[in-house]
Structure 1
Amino acid sequence: MLQSGHLIDSTAHQLPENYTLVAQAYRRKPIKPVLDGEPIYEDTPDAVWLLKHIHGPRASPDAVRRRACGRTRNCPVRFPAAKRRHRSSAALPAQSTSWPVQGPSASRALGRQDGFWSAVASAARLRFWGAVKPPKTAWRFASRRTS
């Protein structure tokens, strides 16, 4: 696992892009799976800009083309402390996007339309769908024994 960072333009800070780090890690012997543990996060205040939804997906294909086995996903709500420290700074705006479960991520991206995602999707628009506690009915069907 490596941490490529969440800068839009790493080269502006004399840092390598995430795909370069993945390629370097993959070239080590013996060859092992590489996971990007700190990709670009969407909708987060980062230094002097606000990352948008177009920046995160750019990093994923670059890493996968360089043989990364995957990447982690994070959520903007983990940055409230930065916002509080810099109250007067317009460069650190609040989270502006509410990510719907029915959007292009979540169940549609996974190709899943099972009961769990349907129950979660009908609940509400969520800021971080990965932290949602599933409704009890979703587990009732999974735990039922067949005779």
Structure 2
Amino acid sequence: MTKFFLSLHVLAAIVAIGPVTVAASMFPNVLRQVQADPGAPEPLATLRTLHRICRVYAGVGIAVPVFGFATGQSLGVLGSAWLITSMVLTGIAAAILVGVLLPRQEDALNAVGTAAGPGSVALDERAGARLAMLTGIFNLLWAVVTVLMIVRPGSTTGA
């Protein structure tokens, strides 16, 4: 059963976390393109698509810690420091995604989507830079979790 849960955990991480990290990373650059040329329809459509990918795969991504917890339980390592650290970092990454990145993406979309109309919301020109920084932190957290999952201090694999 451990191999089954581990396989589901790794597949969920690849399928769910990969698209979120890529789409979230692309969002600030496309936002800058939209800000540079607000009338261009293609970058705005791309921006909406990237936000939708982030939103949908954030929901799908809940499978990663669920299968990770099941794997850890079947391996009997739930009390290990490396796993607890990974769970905490995963929680922080999820909080950044759901509590900061997605709302700021939504705000940016609302601002650039209404920029042509009267009474539009002004978007700070540094919004893209702030989103890029926050996305970098989000991605760095996932990189650290990935390394912890591979290295696993105290592992008996000999790797």
The structure carrying a bigger helix percent of its residues is: 2
- TM-score greater than 0.5 by the shorter chain: no
User: Comparing both chains, which one has the higher relative contact order based on Cα–Cα distances under 8 Å and sequence gaps of 6 or more?
Assistant: 2
Report the TM-score, using the length of structure 1 for normalisation.
Answer: 0.29
TM-score (norm 2): 0.28
- The structure that is strand-richer by fraction is 1
